[in-house]
Chain A
């Protein structure tokens, strides 16, 4: 059962991810954004399979809830429709794909050749409580700094969005 779910979610993630970046039917960024939502939800499914329930929830909330909404807002705000006047440089595309394939291929080769998963079994039961304990004991300082970072990000965004930057 778990294996089946893994394959389903993996396939969904990869197919939707592909459609985010290279939809053969449309260049509309809104479509990409919608497929990004699907990708992220599928990944939440994978997280569940990995017993990371809290993170799955956060993933859905933060990405699907907040980030994608931001994307859509910006797309709407800029009103970019059919802007992708794609006159692809074939040479560039081929080169890019070659680079990507080689990087991907090498990563996979590294994963397989290193035997990283040998003798490892899924033990960890990462409950929300455990995560919370860890977060508020060992990682309490980074956690606080993360709060500061979000504040800084907020201020930065407000500043950038002002009409007349001085």
Chain B
């Protein structure tokens, strides 16, 4: 075991130790709990940096966990371009958010529990990142789901939070069900769960999965669909905003939801073209749909949540378009600026005493200058303004979609551009309504800048949000995954032109609609039906409840029928009737007359004799 692997093990186990220490010993000591948790994640970041910088190390280290016959369940750490990059993102963004949480969660009566959960989450997420095989990945996948459940439902006394946590968990379960089916299919076909071995197997024979390759790929994608909240399993993510804002930033913007994209990149080699096409389309649809819904949301965190959905759609689409490098690139840049946006939103919410409606804000530009500046930069990065990070990463994805000679697709490219227009529109709306104009409520007029413990991480995140676009992340990841860059940059000008156009259109429409001081939303005023539909998130929740209701009803009816007719009528009553008839029959023999008994006795003797002697006469 070389040094890098030891470091990786330590990175993985530090947060677990932290979670255990907090839970077992320091629940009463809030300050110490925070220090332990933050120390663990910052330590992890430093070690990750070491791993990344020493570089060159690539490979894995496994220990056998369970050995059943030929089957070996192993736990391991795998270090390559993908995981070392992701380690940095998770621990880096994680460190800042842990730090920020100190301020945001101040005074909460479950302060220690919060940090224990956060550490637990970090541990689970690192487990996914470092996983060397499908089984380990699935275990940590589920652990992430549990941590997410704990953190969304952190304020469990609020029914909305408790419901949201349940919804997130159950929706994820649906995706995970497909994921494990896919894992089983891969295992049945290839006989291994280890990524390195699988890559070898698939490298030698791409047809290992045979005719079921598409199905297996889509099933595996179901896992990503749940975790990365892709259509139609996206419904949990906006509701997950019921959790504390740093949690939204860490889990539901920067890291956990990226796990699905990361997983797709990790298993990119075994996805068949059919499966990739499904993935690309789902991603495109999610990107566009979420952007449309975001237009008419009024809750600052929900706007960001739908924005996250939309950007995740981009990443998934990029994977589907044979550009995992672009996906990881966007994942990285997005993690930085979206975390910053969420933390900025958290700062606003904190300053306004948990007021989240943007129409009750306004004029915060003067009250909260630091928050405003960082938020604005984050918005510009998200919209893809040159030379901020979002420009490059989004451009990479659009370029992949515009690469018509290889895997590009005209419709998906159009989806992407349209989503980019809408992104600019809704983000500009958010900034203009919330920060510009005049105060629309008392809490907005009494707002003041957040403490430095909260603005500090914002400033730090500002740096990678600006510069990370210049890093050669795409090629780094592509080389790590082992694919050549598919399209080159011949289509980049086209993509760049369209994205700039999108930026201009979105920006000018937003300025026209929201540039002046307004008390209400002009879209809602003029396009009433559309606005209502969008506010209700295109009725997905209602449709799903209806579907679930109908299915539930049908299943209950079937179960009721089974219970009443088959179990109750046939088995229970049947048994009872059999016993009853037997009893009635046998009762005929019990006459109370000794002669009958004597006769039966003789009959018995006759039978015995018959069998002993074998026949009468």
A95, A96, A106: the one contacting B616 at CB < 8 Å is A106
Report A-chain residues with C-beta under 8 Å of the C-beta of B613. Answer: 106, 109-110, 113
Q: Which of B599, B603, B609, B615 contacts A107 (CB 8 A)?
A: B609
B404 close to chain A: CB less than 8 A: no
Q: Using Cβ atoms and an 8 Å threshold, which residues of chain B touch A155?
A: none
User: Is B599 a contact partner of A99 (Cβ separation < 8 A)?
Assistant: yes
A-B interface pairs (CB < 8 A), number = 33
Do residues B599 and A106 form an inter-chain contact, with CB atoms below 8 A? no
A105 and B610 alpha carbons, distance in the complex (Å):
10
Interface residues in A100-121 by Cβ distance below 8 A to B read 100, 102-103, 105-110, 113
B605 within 8 A of A: yes
Whether A99 touches B603, Cβ cut-off 8 Å, given contacts A106-B609, A107-B609, A110-B609, is yes
B603: chain A residues at CB < 8 Å are 99
* The one of A95, A103, A108, A109 that contacts B615, using a Cβ cutoff of 8 Å: A109
In the bound complex, CA of A109 to CA of B605 (Å): 15
The answer to whether A103 and B599 touch across the interface, beta carbons within 8 angstroms, is: no
Min C-beta distance of A110 to chain B, whole Å: 5
Are B599 and A105 within 8 A (Cβ)?
no
Bound-state Cα–Cα, A113 to B605, Å? 19
Complex CA distance for A100 and B606, rounded to whole angstroms: 8
CB distance from B617 to the nearest CB of A (A): 5
A95-B599, A96-B599 known; A103-B617 Cβ under 8 A: no
- B434 CB to closest chain A CB (Å) equals 100
B interface secondary structure, majority: helix
Q: Once the chains are docked, how many angstroms separate the CA of A107 from the CA of B609?
A: 8
A102 engages B616 (CB within 8 Å): yes
Please give, as numbers and ranges, the residues of chain A lying within 8 Å of B581 by CB-CB distance.
Answer: none
B602 on interface, CB distance cutoff 8 Å: yes
Decide: B602 and A106 in contact? CB cutoff 8 A: no
- Residues in B366-421 with C-beta less than 8 Å from chain A: none
Residue from B602, B605, B617 in contact with A105 in the complex, judged by beta carbons closer than 8 Å: B617
Q: Chain B residues near A99 (CB, 8 Å)? A: 599, 602-603, 606
Query: CA of A132 to CA of B617 in the docked complex: distance in angstroms?
Result: 41
Residue of A nearest to B605 (CB): A103
- With both beta carbons as reference points, the residue of chain A lying nearest to B607 in the complex is identified as A102
Q: In the complex, what residues of A have CB within 8 A of residue B617's CB?
A: 105-106, 108-109
Contact with B along A3-40 (1 / 0, CB 8 A): 00000000000000000000000000000000000000
Q: How many residues of B contact A (CB 8 A)?
A: 11
Tell me the chain B residues, 561-617 only, with Cβ under 8 Å from chain A.
599, 602-603, 605-606, 609-610, 613, 615-617
Residues of B within 8 Å of A113, CB to CB, are 613
Count class of interface residues, chain A = 10 to 19
Bound-state CA distance A99–B598 (Å) is 11
Residues of A within 8 A of B610 (CB): 102, 106
Minimum CB distance partner of A110 in chain B:
B613
Near B by CB (< 8 A), chain A positions 62-121 give 92, 95-96, 99-100, 102-103, 105-110, 113
Q: Could you say which residues of chain B place their CB within 8 Å of the CB of A100?
A: 602
Chain A residues near B602 (CB-CB < 8 A): 99-100, 103
Beta-carbon contacts of B231-260 to A below 8 Å, as 1s and 0s? 000000000000000000000000000000
A160 to B615, CA, bound (A): 45
Considering the chains assembled together, what is the distance between the CA atoms of A57 and B41 in angstroms?
115
CA distance A47 to B596 in the complex (A): 34
Assembly CA distance A113 to B614 (angstroms): 11
| Residues 195-219 of B contacting A (Cβ, < 8 Å) | none
Complexed CA–CA distance, A105 and B605 (Å): 13
Contact B616 A109 (CB under 8 A): yes
B609 contact set on A, CB distance < 8 A: 103, 106-107, 110
- Chain B residue numbers with a CB within 8 Å of A103 are 602, 605-606, 609
Set of chain A residues within 8 Å of B599, measured between Cβ atoms: 92, 95-96, 99
B606 near A102: Cβ-Cβ < 8 Å: yes
* Across-interface contacts of A95 in B (CB, < 8 A): 599
**Alpha-carbon distance A156/B580, docked complex (angstroms):** 43
In whole Å, how far is B597's beta carbon from the nearest beta carbon of chain A?
13
Pick the most buried of A100, A103, A105, A106: most chain B CB atoms within 10 A of its CB.
A106
Look across to chain B and name the residue whose beta carbon is closest to the beta carbon of A108: B617
Task: For the complex formed, measure the closest distance between the CB of B603 and the CB atoms of chain A, giving whole angstroms.
Answer: 5
CA A100 – CA B617 in complex, angstroms?
Answer: 13
Expressed in whole angstroms, the minimum distance between the Cβ of A82 and any Cβ of chain B is 20
Q: Using CB atoms, name the residue of chain B closest to A112.
A: B617
CA distance A110 to B615 in the complex (A): 10
Most buried by B among A99, A105, A113: A99
- Alpha-carbon distance between A100 and B605 when the two chains are bound, in angstroms: 10
Chain B residues, Cβ within 8 Å of A107: 609
Return A138 CB to nearest CB of chain B, in Å: 31
Q: Could you tell me the distance between the alpha carbons of A109 and B606 in the complex, rounded to whole angstroms?
A: 13
Nearest A residue to B612 via CB reads: A110
CA–CA, A92 and B615, complex, Å:
23
Nearest CB of chain A from residue B592's CB, rounded to whole Å? 15
Residue ID in chain A nearest B600 by CB atoms = A99
What is the CB-to-nearest-CB distance from A106 to chain B, in angstroms, rounded to a whole number?
5
- Please measure, in the bound complex, the distance between the C-alpha atom of A58 and the C-alpha atom of B428, giving whole angstroms: 129
Q: Which residues of B contact A92 (CB under 8 A)?
A: 599
B55-80 residues with Cβ-Cβ distance < 8 A to A are: none
**Bound: A99/B604 CA distance, A:** 10
Least distance between A24 CB and chain B CB atoms (Å): 20
A104 CB to nearest B CB, Å: 10
Chain B residues contacting A105 (CB-CB under 8 Å) are 616-617
CA of A109 to CA of B602, assembled, Å: 17
Closest to A107 in B: B609
Bound-state CA distance A95–B605 (Å) is: 15
Looking across the interface, which residue of chain A has its beta carbon closest to that of B603?
A: A99
Which residue of chain B has its CB nearest to the CB of A106? Answer: B609
5 more A-B residue pairs beyond the given contacts A103-B602, A107-B609, with a C-beta to C-beta distance below 8 A: A99-B602, A103-B605, A105-B616, A108-B617, A109-B616
User: Which 7 pairs between the two chains have the least Cβ-Cβ distance?
Assistant: A106-B609, A105-B616, A103-B606, A105-B617, A102-B606, A99-B602, A110-B613
Q: Chain B: residues with CB nearer than 8 A to chain A?
A: 599, 602-603, 605-606, 609-610, 613, 615-617
Supply 12 A–B pairs (Cβ within 8 Å), ascending by A. Answer: A92-B599, A99-B602, A99-B603, A102-B610, A103-B602, A106-B606, A106-B615, A106-B617, A109-B613, A109-B617, A110-B609, A110-B613
